[in-house]
Amino acid sequence: VVSTQSTESSGINAEYGENKKLTDDAKKEFNEQVRLLVGHIRKKDPRVIAQKEKQREEEERRLAAEKTRVAEQRRKRAEEVVKLAEEAKTMLDGHNEALDDLMGELSETDEEED
């Protein structure tokens, strides 16, 4: 014999579960609608627009500063290369003079031996 009390309680539990599911679905739908509304309002809010503009300007300034910094580094490297090339040329000229002196001494020695 099935008791009527257990049948009633299982029916109540089923109704409760179905009601909870419907309530949860309705809450999710409502929250989604609120999120959409807030997003739309945010796009129109002058404070949000001003903040986005400020962030864009700061990003532009940061990029310009970075570009300037990189250009300065390249300029310094180019100056270093020119300086090193001049030093190398000076050293080479000095070595060429020394080599010319040695060649002159060698030719004088060869002439004296003849």
* 10 or 81, higher pLDDT: 81
Entry pTM:
0.48
Q: How far apart are CA 4 and CA 58, in angstroms?
A: 73
How close are the terminal C-alpha atoms of the chain, in Å? 143
Give the torsion through C-alpha atoms of 55, 58, 62, 64, to 10 deg: 120
Please tell me the predicted confidence (pLDDT) of residue 52: 94
HSE-CB at 61 with a 13 A cutoff on CA atoms is: 6
65-103 tens-digit pLDDT: 999 999 999 999 999 999 999 999 999 998 988 898 888
User: Alpha-carbon distance 19 to 51, whole Å?
Assistant: 44
Rounded to the nearest integer, the mean pLDDT of the chain is: 89
Confidence of residue 9 (pLDDT cuts 50, 70, 90): low
Over residues 30-77, the pLDDT tens digits come to: 999 999 999 999 999 999 999 999 999 999 999 999 999 999 999 999
Residue 40 has what pLDDT?
94
